[in-house]
Amino acid sequence: MSTLASHRKPRSLSGVRTASPAVGITTAALASVTLLSAQSASAAPVEPKPSMEEVQKKVDDLYRQAGSETQKYNKAKEATQKQKRAVDRVLDEVAKRADKLNEARRTLGSFAAAQYREGAVTPTAALLFADSPQAFFEQKQVTDRLTERQRGVLTDYQTQQAAAAKKRAQASKDLESLNASQAALRTSKQNVQQKLGAARALLAKLTTEEKARLAALERKKEEEARRKAEAQAKVEARAKAEAERKRKEQQAQAPSTGTGSDSGTASGSGTGSGTGTGTGTGGGSGTSGGTGASDGSYATKAAKVLAFARAQIGKPYVWGATGPSSYDCSGLTQAAWKEAGVELPRTTWEQVKAGTRVATGDLLPGDLVFFYDDISHVGIYIGDGMMIHAPKPGANVREESIYYMPIYGSIRPA
């Protein structure tokens, strides 16, 4: 027994007990490290949260892009409406031509029947095998026997047939253009909705505190624009005061220049000078005869424009709208100037070409001020650096400083 025992290898129990757990822990740790490393490698880098200034800039840019897309929508909508009217007119013409063609065909048919009743074999055979009454009468043996009246009917049939074919071709072409405009209209509508949706989504992610900070930035921007408007108002006030001083001087000197017709001429000159200086000497010299009218016809029209625009204050901005319950920016300017008897184009891109260009320092009430390099916004100048405009979705028609947005240029419509 002792001999057998002496040949047994001693069991290392402690080694087994300590080694197993150690191996398990090490394997789990390695697996965890490997998993974390894989997750870290596959995970996208976390982008830093944008500042409120960046958010404000992004939102403003999205609204500007939406404004530009709105102008594309307005242009496509106008083109679609015009083309639809053109297609309707052409289709009416096609229907009328078809009626005339059918009438001429019936007349030819009656003549063909009369030829058949005469019993002549050749005309009868020709009628039976002809593709149409026209083809029947075009055969020489038949046409030789036509009366003058029948020849006239045949000529009229051929004329109506050619006219109908031409109108059908025109209708087909106009329908293609209409379909293209309708496709552009749908695309523009989708683009506007996409830009506005992106702006709303960006704002929806903000916390209450972030929204408050964004509102503070907006108030700061408005305050800076207001200060610039006040500076413009002071410039205009000085110009008006200078114009009034010169007008009084000229009135005082008028009696010494003579009486009768000479006195009347001096008085007229005084009025012209007052107009030019009071509204801005740059604008006066730039528009020449138009400035003289600004004290009369233009001022009268502008008064109607401003009265209309003020009556719209508080109505909501709705892209593509032209009133009377809501407007987009160019819809408001178009409607306001229509009140004064002036027809403006629909889009900002066309309106900016619809008048005499004027410098910012020479603006008169009623002038149109355009904004951004893409000319995607417009407002109506009311004086003292202020305008009435339909700002953007979610806002109402209101008065605001023209310096709230970067100015592209200005025009005088009439």
Task: Reduce the secondary structure of the chain to three states and give it as a string.
Answer: CHHHHHHCCCCCHHHHHHHHHHHHHHHHHHHHHHHHHHHHHHCCCCCCCCCHHHHHHHHHHHHHHHHHHHHHHHHHHHHHHHHHHHHHHHHHHHHHHHHHHHHHHHHHHHHHHHHHHCCCHHHHHHHHHCCCHHHHHHCHHHHCCCCHHHHHHHHHHHHHHHHHHHHHHHHHHHHHHHHHHHHHHHHHHHHHHHHHHHHHHHHHCCCHHHHHHHHHHHHHHHHHHHHHHHHHHHHHHHHHHHHHHHHHHHHHHHHHHCCCHHHHHHHHHHHHHHHHHHCCHHHHHHHCHHHHHHHHHHHHHHHHHHHHHHHCCCCEECCCCECCCCECHHHHHHHHHHHCCCCCCCCHHHHCCCCEEECHHHCCCCCEEEECCCCCEEEEEEECCEEEECCCCCCECEEEEHHHCCEEEEEECC
Say if CB 410 and CB 357 are below 8 A apart. Answer: yes
pLDDT digits (tens, 9 = 90+) for 383-393: 999 999 999 99
Say if CB 400 and CB 386 are below 8 A apart. Answer: yes
- What is the arithmetic mean of pLDDT over 402-411? 97
- pLDDT score at 268: 38
- What's domain 52-205's architecture? Orthogonal Bundle (1.10)
- What is the arithmetic mean of pLDDT over 226-233? 94
pTM, entire model: 0.64
pLDDT at 344 over 50: yes
- pLDDT score at 184: 87
- pLDDT score at 91: 75
| Radius of gyration of the chain from its Cα atoms, rounded to whole angstroms | 41
pLDDT digits (tens, 9 = 90+) for 72-83: 999 999 988 888
Say how far residue 13 (Cα) sits from the centre of its chain. 88
Say if CB 183 and CB 82 are below 8 A apart. Answer: no
Non-local CB neighbours of 284 within 8 Å, separated by 6+ positions: 275, 276, 277, 291, 362
C-alpha–C-alpha distance, residues 219 and 181, integer Å: 41
- What is the arithmetic mean of pLDDT over 197-220? 92
Pick 297-413's CATH classification: 3.90.1720.10, 3.40.50.300, 3.50.50.60, 3.50.30.30: 3.90.1720.10
- pLDDT score at 397: 98
Would you place residue 260 in the very low, low, confident or very high pLDDT band (cuts 50, 70, 90)? very low
C-alpha–C-alpha distance, residues 334 and 349, integer Å: 13
Would you place residue 161 in the very low, low, confident or very high pLDDT band (cuts 50, 70, 90)? confident
- What is the arithmetic mean of pLDDT over 111-130? 53
Say how far residue 122 (Cα) sits from the centre of its chain. 68
Would you place residue 269 in the very low, low, confident or very high pLDDT band (cuts 50, 70, 90)? very low
- The CA–CA distances, whole Å, from 61 to 37, 68, 400 equal 40, 10, 19
- Phi first, then psi, for residue 82 (nearest 5°) are -65, -45
Domain coordinates of the chain in residue numbers?
A: 52-205, 297-413
pLDDT digits (tens, 9 = 90+) for 276-317: 333 333 333 333 334 434 456 999 999 999 999 999 999 999
pLDDT digits (tens, 9 = 90+) for 41-91: 555 566 677 888 888 999 999 999 999 999 999 999 998 888 888 777 777
- pLDDT score at 86: 76
Q: What single-letter amino acid sits at 90?
A: V
Burial track 397-407 (b if 16+ CB lie within 10 A, e otherwise): bbebbbbbbee
